[in-house]
Structure 1
Amino acid sequence: MAYFKFNGVSSKDMGLRIMNQVVSESTGRDIERVQVPGRDGDLLLSNNRLKSVEKSFPCKLIVKDNLTVAGEKISQWLLVDGYKDLELSWDANYLYKAAFIETFAIEEILRQFGEVKLNFLVYPVKFLKTSLVSKSVRNGEVINNSGNMKAKPIIKLVGNGECVLTINNRKTKVINVQNNLVLDMQKNMVYSGAVTAAWDKVVRSPEYTLPYLDVGSNTISWTGNFTVEMTTYVGVKL
């Protein structure tokens, strides 16, 4: 039986059975259309991002408890802030990020009808689960990005001093590292230990760039007496 898991809790454990096919949108570029007087057609301005998508789960409630109590439990489960992990039994190798954003009273609908359509706002990229584990990298190692888009990794440099990290000839230079430095490209943050912002450690100049992984093969190397750990976050566009 098909099911989904949201924020670590399975729909099966909540007594929800998916009735019909799950309805999903596909993502697209966030494009702003601007009409300019005297110019034919629309001017298209890209916001350089993918749009989130909606995914709907039509469910029937099958529980031994009364529907009111079950509905209250489901409402408490779903109504949490921000994106949470979403797993689908029919796409078990990937992890989604989703938020439940409905404002209606779930428990009231379930109490009256025993059925409900649960609508989630889903982050436009799903991640290969095996790529969400931090792994040590050897200097000169080739890492494969099997997704269909550039990957934004989390890279931890352990060592002291200066380091130039190279990925497929793109260089990232960091300086004055003390013990460790984390380049978190998922959150677009750089931090070290308890210091939540350590952008002063990253050299900004035309010859250096922030790290990412190309689709396909990526050769990783670095200078200095450092060890490197990486969580690759291999992603597939929805």
Structure 2
Amino acid sequence: MIHEAWFTFKGVDSREMGVIVTAMPETVRAERRIESITVAGRNGSLHTDEGVYESYDRTMECALIKRAKLDEVTAWLVGSGEMTFSTEPDKVYRVTIANKISIAQMMRVFQKFQVILDTQPFKYSVNAAGDALELTAPTTIRNSGTVYSEPLITVYGSGDITLTINGADFPLYGVEESITIDSEMMEVFKGNANQNGKYGGADFPRFEVGQNEISWTGNVSKIKIQPRWRWL
């Protein structure tokens, strides 16, 4: 039943806030960024595929049943954070809420109000901690998502190290104890210290859908990976 629908935002459950969902947002797939090019004298068009996806808006309809929580709810439903839905409890969306919400509507019990979700293109595993990997020897890992992932990789070791994923090399120079590669942010660091100068890769590591071979050379004791599996 619809009154049993719920969502979480920034770790807070809508049921705890006295908010019920009267209409869940539509489930859609993100649009791929493809540029269409028309060439004079040529039939049809050419397409440039950047291999990336656009964010998109979705609308959720809610109602407030605990007027005493009005101020808390309006302060909660704003800004950026992770959101899960009862319709997909195993997935996490990254959303931003910026639309105005009618306080007058919220003050009337069961009066509906809309929450517009500026949604990033991918959804992630709700069990990110459980998906974490620790490697002490070369191996093969499987990406069971529907799109390549941009992992967070921490290499523990020293000196010059080369990480190899699916035949592509990602060199690291002068490592001292550990170094972290964040493929999503395109940054290399140790703690709060920028280490981009110690990275020699032309691109950043990614795990393709399916099997991925991982190996390395150099003085490495272990590698910790947050794979960030994701789905469209």
* Residue 121 in structure 1 maps to residue 118 in structure 2: yes
What's the offset of the Cα at 1:150?
1.0
SS in 2 for 1:224: strand
Would the aligned equivalents of 2:60 and 2:116 in 1 still touch at CA under 8 Å? yes
What's the offset of the Cα at 1:45?
4.1
Corresponding residue of 1:153 = 151
- Percent sequence identity over aligned pairs: 24
AA matched with 2:212: N
What's the offset of the Cα at 1:179?
1.5
CA distance 1:94–1:21, shift in 2 (3 Å):
closer
* Residue 224 in structure 1 maps to residue 198 in structure 2: no
AA matched with 1:222: W
Corresponding residue of 1:109 = 105
* Residue 214 in structure 1 maps to residue 215 in structure 2: no
CA distance 1:115–1:70, shift in 2 (3 Å):
farther
- Give the Cα–Cα distance (whole angstroms) in 1 for the partners of residues 176 and 228 of structure 2: 26
What's the offset of the Cα at 1:20?
3.1
- Give the Cα–Cα distance (whole angstroms) in 2 for the partners of residues 41 and 201 of structure 1: 47
* Residue 234 in structure 1 maps to residue 229 in structure 2: yes
What's the offset of the Cα at 1:86?
0.6
- Give the Cα–Cα distance (whole angstroms) in 2 for the partners of residues 160 and 16 of structure 1: 52
What's the offset of the Cα at 1:94?
1.4
What's the offset of the Cα at 1:11?
1.1
Would the aligned equivalents of 2:186 and 2:204 in 1 still touch at CA under 8 Å? no
AA matched with 1:125: F
The alignment's TM-score, normalised by the length of structure 2, stands at 0.87
Between 1:150-159 and 1:29-38, the stretch displaced more is: 29-38
- Give the Cα–Cα distance (whole angstroms) in 2 for the partners of residues 71 and 25 of structure 1: 30
Corresponding residue of 2:65 = 62
- Give the Cα–Cα distance (whole angstroms) in 2 for the partners of residues 204 and 98 of structure 1: 31
The alignment's TM-score, normalised by the length of structure 1, stands at 0.85
Between 1:93-102 and 1:134-143, the stretch displaced more is: 134-143
Corresponding residue of 2:7 = 4
Would the aligned equivalents of 1:25 and 1:53 in 2 still touch at CA under 8 Å? no
What's the offset of the Cα at 1:173?
1.1
- Give the Cα–Cα distance (whole angstroms) in 1 for the partners of residues 211 and 175 of structure 2: 28
CA distance 1:77–1:171, shift in 2 (3 Å):
same
SS in 2 for 1:179: strand
What's the offset of the Cα at 1:203?
1.6
* Residue 202 in structure 1 maps to residue 202 in structure 2: no
* Residue 90 in structure 1 maps to residue 87 in structure 2: yes
What's the offset of the Cα at 1:31?
3.0
SS in 2 for 1:13: coil
- Give the Cα–Cα distance (whole angstroms) in 2 for the partners of residues 39 and 72 of structure 1: 60
Corresponding residue of 2:181 = 183
- 1:70-127 deviations in whole A, cap 9, x for unaligned? 33321100122xx31111122121111111120x243233125721121111111111
What's the offset of the Cα at 1:128?
1.6
Corresponding residue of 2:33 = 30
Count of aligned residue pairs for this structure pair: 226
In structure 2, stretches of 5+ residues that fail to align are none
- 1:39-92 deviations in whole A, cap 9, x for unaligned? 6655544454201122222112212x4xxx533321100122xx3111112212
Question: Which structure dedicates a bigger proportion of its chain to strand?
Answer: 2
